[in-house]
Amino acid sequence: MATASSATSVYDFTVKDASGKDVDLSVYKGKVLLIVNVASQCGLTNSNYTELSQVYEKYKDQGLEILAFPCNQFAGQEPGTNEEIVQFACTRFKAEYPIFDKVDVNGSNASPLYKFLKSSKGGIFGDSVKWNFSKFLVDKEGRVVDRYAPTTSPLSIEKDIKKLLGIS
């Protein structure tokens, strides 16, 4: 498995899905990815999950994948098990995109993927992820091209997604 320093793209990483199985991110080669750290009990949950589902529904057939990584590092707002998280997202918000194993996005135990994402695109106030629903946009070659704040609406980045998908 790649380390954040040796990786050249997100395709160099293997992550765990919500049931604990390995997923080689190279299966997403040629897709535009929106990678998001999610939480079920955040003030941003309703708007983000709703809009992520809308964006996914609109662009999944043109090559967009949304990869959701639950994280409990921000005020303990994702306390559930993976099964509970998937049930919540899929039942309440009709999420059809993949939801992965719960990860740390900051600190010494941060997922290697998140270390890579942060080193590729630092935030305005440093590299660390500041809150739930931080978003990383990845092009078809697996390169991080943009990073969005937790309060940035998924619908507001639609133009950037369309550009990477080659849709005018």
User: What residues act catalytically?
Assistant: 42
- Asked if 112 contacts 101 with a C-beta cutoff of 8 angstroms, the reply is no
What are the tokens at 106? 């900051």
Closest-CA residue to 99 (of 87, 86, 110): 86
- Asked if 57 contacts 96 with a C-beta cutoff of 8 angstroms, the reply is yes
- Looking at residue 17, what DSSP letter applies? B
Which strand (E) or helix (H) includes residue 49?
Answer: helix 45-59
